């Protein structure tokens, strides 16, 4: 770390664009879950793309390493500095334009997801990305981690919602493509490189995002199924008969039990207390249509024996209540104790076998294991978490799960799955990634080396091994 | 070109996997439109990924350049050899698996689009990519050119339909990801590099594609609009009220006139003979639903003054007739005479201004110009073609249009558009690309150099300047 370069950077910027104040730095050098604590000599807060470009040029010339940061809500340690300068996008938070004829919105990387959702809504449109951290997660980070969430089934992950990007390369050159084209076959689609790159190839400074028509009606139901296999069958039925499944989330009995136990006001949606439930959301462009679609699709599902019990939300408040159960599972789980978490995916068709084998394996290896497996079964993504039956488990329990994690990842490999479906690699999974995808990682490293020859961008993250 | 390497390659392969027979080579060394004629010393016809890998390893070691070819239906000269060996994927045409629970299909690169559509249909599913050349275009080429077509509006371009790829790198290493995951955040999404790379980074040998539920009903209408601006307004209305627009194609009066004149049995769908029409296709997962959706949406469009006349296809045969008009425009145009063609895109909101300015400009520069502008207005892609008023124009007329082409591309740039929306770069537009996107091309060349240091893969195409 060249202090000379740091002085140059400070001199090149408006005084508002940097800080060395430990109090201001504090929230930027740890992650929000408190799992990673780091340090940084300098917080940079550029307010323009040009400032980002000047910063990276100087860092590149001086060999100063940089960790870009937006909402700092990641789960894999990808934005906690260990000596790097922190480049925060928080001052670049403008929504620049909304083009309703083109169904697109252009904003800066520091715009908060919820403010983008609200801006779209104010113009009668929908920006569909939706996840727990939406009140603080920022667009730049959501792009750099290719965020998922609960509506991937219908609208895709962040990758599919980006029409164009503005990104600054490590040497300060700016790639800019913010006109919102839906079709452009002029060479490699460079924006794809930055989506999901976790800040290792440059800094995303702005993006043009896809908007959609707002559904005129929405219906939410919770239905009882016998098993994950039946959930997959029900998913096929709902897709086939309604064509408008916006979310399809699997919840185990233990997940609902914990949610009801720990969340104020929560109650079981079904008296039958089934082993598994799914939360289904349907949308329709027609008023009052989603509800009747849901009713008739669930009716035929009953007739086919795919569902044994179901509750259809009758009011907006009840819809929110159903969603609160699903979204409350992680918090309830946390209240129960620490757990080893696995954000994995497999092909939808392999999900039932994976769930069965992984559960059997974990329980055999660790008799005190309590499996809490829930999530976006509609797109093959399950949060397969291993908790302890007795409440109050701590870090020592999580540490004792390491061999179980390896066994679970081996089963993921066996079923052609991914050891990080939506949370990314960060520092948490980089060794696993290098071990499990050696050819891919070699190609990724070659690309990284090409675009960032001095390795200044997030060098420890994803591809870097300390 | 090392003859020694060619001998090594022949010796390493099954005799069925190569040919030097000029008759067999003939269709592989020219393009189907007869615009490009080339030559090649050797046609390679591997039947396995391993053979492709061995071929590329040897070519890479011996500095032999390779042009990969699948259906050879491209429009920009990207698959015509000029001395390179031709690597045809035509023997790798198997559909390997269909997974209906995962809504995915895995096939080899030489599988013909129509056979993929049919295989999906036989299992009750839809593969939505649909374009004129579907009877001969193959999946590998469709991926390597990121093909578009008439259903992009609803289902996206080829890029959005690919769940995973198997690709052979120039040095023979194989990247394989055919398990059909919908979520995988483990590092850079390498498959994106090969999609739309026009064979410059390696050879796509297989792919896992997304399938969809088949719509239970489809409705097709042709509606009269005053102008492209009104077409864009009508598009917004249809998207908002139906949520299920599968295609939205703009056709000018001259396009329909030519189609009716030149296509056997074709007739005008509307007596009012309007200046502009749009072909609208709606789909629904419910039986008989699309038709009523179309009726009520067109009714409110009439009330709003967005449509002055419309014909709703009443039978499957009539739907096909309407589509035949739209799809017959290129052929009818060809029968009229040669034209300068521009496959361009702009943001949907800029389409009306672009159309107006480009038409005025072309007519001012070339008084004999007949503008035939039609296409996928729903995604901002227009085929803006400059024909001659008097029929029977030839190559000399097209050559005389060069300054008009430059002026049109300048207007495309002005409106933030793309000079190749869906056809790609090939040899046709590589100079334009290098001139108009210098920073991007520099980055693309750096990536090309990293993955293909000996420049054996399609060296003249897209990024190469002879």
pLDDT of A466 over the 70 cut = no
Q: What is the DSSP secondary-structure string of A273-340? A: --SEEEEEEEEESSTTHHHHHHHHHHHHHHHTTS-SEEEE--SHHHHHHHHHHHHHHHHHHHHH---B
Contact A145 B185 (CB under 8 A): yes
Buried b (16+ CB within 10 A) or exposed e, B29-64: bbbeeeebebebebbbbbbebebbbbbbbbbbebeb
Show the tokens assigned to A370.
């309590």
Give CA B434 to chain center in angstroms. Answer: 21
> Does A99 sit within 8 Å of B422, measured CB to CB?
no
Q: What are phi and psi of A58, to 5 degrees?
A: -65, -45
Assigned token pair, B260: 């009716």
Q: With 90 as the cut, is the pLDDT of residue B2 above it?
A: no
- Across B134-142, average pLDDT: 97
Q: How far apart are CA B210 and CA B161, in angstroms?
A: 5
- Beta-carbon separation of B183 and A103 below 8 A: no
Considering only residues 155 to 194 of chain B, which have any Cβ-Cβ distance to chain A shorter than 8 Å? 156-157, 159-160, 169, 173-175, 178-190, 192-193
Q: What is the pLDDT of residues B392-439, one digit of tens each?
A: 999 999 999 999 999 999 999 999 999 999 999 999 999 999 999 999
Q: Which of A146, A420, A439 sits opposite B173 (nearest CB)?
A: A439
CB contact under 8 A, B181 and A416: yes
Chain B contact set for A421 (CB, 8 A): 181, 183-185
Let me know: does B77 contact B32? Beta carbons within 8 Å.
Answer: no
Q: What is the reported pLDDT for A32?
A: 86
What is residue B32's predicted lDDT score, i.e. its pLDDT?
86
* pLDDT classification of A232: cutoffs 50, 70, 90: very high
Residue A384 neighbours by CB under 8 Å, 6+ apart: A342, A344, A355, A358, A371, A373, A408
Quote the pLDDT of residue A126: 97
pLDDT given at position A465: 64
Pairwise CA distance, residues A404 & A413, whole Å:
14
- Give yes or no for A197 touching B (CB within 8 A): yes
Q: Tell me which chain A residues have a C-beta less than 8 angstroms from the C-beta of B179.
A: 346-347, 415-417
Mutate to test the interface with A, among B181, B188, B287, B294 (most CBs of A within 10 A): B188
Closest CA of chain A from B450, distance in Å:
7
Give the dihedral sign, CA B363/B364/B365/B366. positive
pTM of the shown model: 0.96
Position B465 scores a pLDDT of 64
Output the pLDDT for position A286.
87
Greatest Cα pair distance in chain A: 74
Q: Residues A26, A27, A29, A30: what is their CA dihedral angle, to the nearest 10 degrees?
A: 120
| A441/B187 Cβ within 8 A | yes
Q: Report in angstroms the alpha-carbon separations of B394 from B274, B339, B387, B401, B410.
A: 29, 8, 10, 11, 25
φ, ψ for residue B419, nearest 5 deg: -80, -5
A346 pLDDT more than 90: yes
Q: Which of A104, A105, A186, A194 to mutate to test the interface with B (most CBs of B within 10 A)?
A: A186
Residue B453, chain A, CB below 8 Å: the answer is no
Average pLDDT over residues B78-91: 96
Q: Which residues, in sequence order, are CB contacts of A7 under 8 Å at separation 6+?
A: none
pLDDT of residue B1: 57
Residue A137 has pLDDT above 60, yes or no: yes
- Inter-chain touch B425–A159, beta carbons under 8 Å: no
B123 touches chain A (CB under 8 A): no
Burial class (CB in 10 A: 0-12, 13-18, 19+), B179: buried
* pLDDT per residue as tens digits for the range B329-386: 999 999 999 999 999 999 999 999 999 999 999 999 999 999 999 989 889 999 999 9
Instruction: Kindly report the nearest CA distance between residue B458 and chain A, in angstroms.
Output: 13
> Of A165-169, A359-363, A460-464, B197-201, which gets the smallest average pLDDT?
A460-464
Q: Is the pLDDT of residue A1 over 60?
A: no
pLDDT higher than threshold 90 for residue A337: yes
Query: Which residue has tokens 């300015």?
Result: B357
Q: Span A64-86, mean pLDDT?
A: 95
Are B187 and A440 a contacting pair at CB < 8 A? yes
Measured between beta carbons, the chain A residues lying within 8 angstroms of B146 are 185, 189
CB contact under 8 A, B185 and A99: no
Query: How much is the average pLDDT of B139-156?
Result: 94
Residue A261 reports pLDDT greater than 60: yes
Q: Which residues of A touch B418 (CB under 8 A)?
A: 181, 183-186
Token pair recorded at residue A209: 């995002």
% of residues, chain A, pLDDT over 90 = 94
Contact B184 A345 (CB under 8 A): yes
Name which of A102, A346, A429 is nearest B347 (Cβ-Cβ). A102
Contact residues, A window 220-249, toward B, CB-based 8 Å cutoff? 232-233, 236, 239-244
Q: For strands A85-88 and A66-69, give the pairing.
A: parallel
Are residues B160 and A157, on separate chains, in Cβ contact within 8 Å? no
pLDDT surpassing 60 at residue B139: yes
Task: Identify which of A183, A187, A195 has the shortest CB distance to residue B380.
Answer: A183
Taking the CA of residue B288 and the nearest CA in chain A, the distance in Å comes to 13
Please state, rounded to an integer, the average pLDDT across all residues of chain B. 96
Question: Tokens at residue A397, please?
Answer: 């329990």
pLDDT in tens, B7-63: 999 999 999 999 999 999 999 999 988 889 999 999 999 999 999 999 999 999 999
**Per-residue pLDDT tens for B217-270?**
999 999 999 999 999 999 999 999 998 999 999 999 999 999 999 999 999 999
| Best CA proximity match to A187, nearest among B297, B370, B352, B447 | B447
Average pLDDT over residues A3-28: 95
Q: How far is A244 from chain B (nearest CA, A)?
A: 9
Please state whether A239 falls in left (phi above 0), alpha (psi between -120 and 50) or beta: alpha
Q: How confident is the model at residue B466 (pLDDT cuts 50, 70, 90)?
A: low
Per residue in A158-205, pLDDT tens? 999 999 999 999 999 999 999 999 999 999 999 999 999 999 999 999
What does the pLDDT look like over A18-41, one tens digit per residue? 999 999 999 999 998 888 999 999
């Amino acid at each position: 770390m060249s202090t000379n370069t740091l002085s140059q950077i400070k001199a090149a910027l408006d005084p508002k664009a940097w800080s060395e104040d430990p109090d201001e730095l504090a929230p930027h050098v740890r992650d929000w879950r408190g799992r990673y604590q780091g340090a940084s000599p300098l917080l940079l807060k550029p307010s323009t793309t040009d400032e980002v470009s000047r910063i990276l040029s100087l860092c590149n010339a001086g060999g100063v390493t940089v960790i870009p940061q937006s909402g700092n809500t990641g789960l894999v340690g990808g934005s906690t500095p260990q000596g790097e300068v922190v480049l925060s996008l928080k001052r670049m938070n403008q929504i620049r334009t909304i083009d309703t004829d083109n169904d697109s919105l252009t904003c800066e990387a520091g715009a908060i997801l919820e403010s983008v959702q609200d801006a779209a809504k104010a113009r009668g449109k929908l920006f569909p990305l939706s996840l727990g951290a939406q009140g603080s997660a920022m667009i730049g980070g959501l792009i750099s981690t290719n965020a998922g969430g609960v509506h991937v089934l219908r609208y895709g992950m962040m990758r599919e919602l980006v029409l164009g990007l503005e990104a600054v390369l490590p040497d300060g050159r700016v790639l800019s493509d913010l006109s919102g084209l839906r079709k452009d076959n002029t060479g490699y689609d460079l924006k794809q490189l930055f989506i999901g790159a976790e800040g290792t190839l440059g800094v995303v400074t702005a993006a043009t995002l896809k908007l959609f028509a707002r559904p005129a009606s929405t219906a939410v139901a919770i239905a009882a199924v016998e098993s994950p296999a039946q959930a997959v069958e029900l998913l096929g039925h709902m897709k086939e008969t309604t064509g408008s499944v916006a979310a399809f989330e699997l919840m185990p009995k233990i997940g609902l039990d914990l949610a009801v136990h720990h969340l104020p006001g929560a109650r079981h949606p079904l008296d039958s207390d089934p082993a598994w439930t799914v939360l289904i959301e349907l949308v329709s462009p027609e008023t009052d249509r989603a509800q009747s679609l849901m009713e008739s699709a669930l009716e035929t599902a009953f007739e086919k024996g795919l569902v044994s019990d179901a509750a259809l939300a009758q009011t907006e408040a009840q819809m929110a209540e159903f969603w609160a159960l699903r979204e409350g599972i992680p918090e309830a789980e946390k209240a129960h104790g620490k757990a080893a978490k696995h954000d994995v995916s497999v092909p939808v068709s392999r999900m039932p076998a994976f769930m069965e084998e992984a559960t059997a394996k974990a329980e055999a290896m660790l008799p005190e294991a309590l499996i809490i497996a829930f999530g976006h079964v509609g797109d093959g993504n399950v949060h397969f978490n291993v908790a302890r039956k007795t409440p109050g488990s701590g870090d020592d329990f999580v540490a004792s799960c390491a061999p179980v994690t390896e066994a679970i990842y081996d089963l993921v490999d066996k079923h052609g799955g991914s050891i990080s479906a939506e949370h990314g690699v960060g520092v948490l999974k980089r060794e696993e990634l290098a071990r499990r995808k050696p050819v891919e990682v070699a190609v990724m490293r070659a690309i990284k080396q090409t675009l960032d020859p001095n390795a200044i961008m997030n060098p420890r993250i994803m591809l870097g091994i300390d």
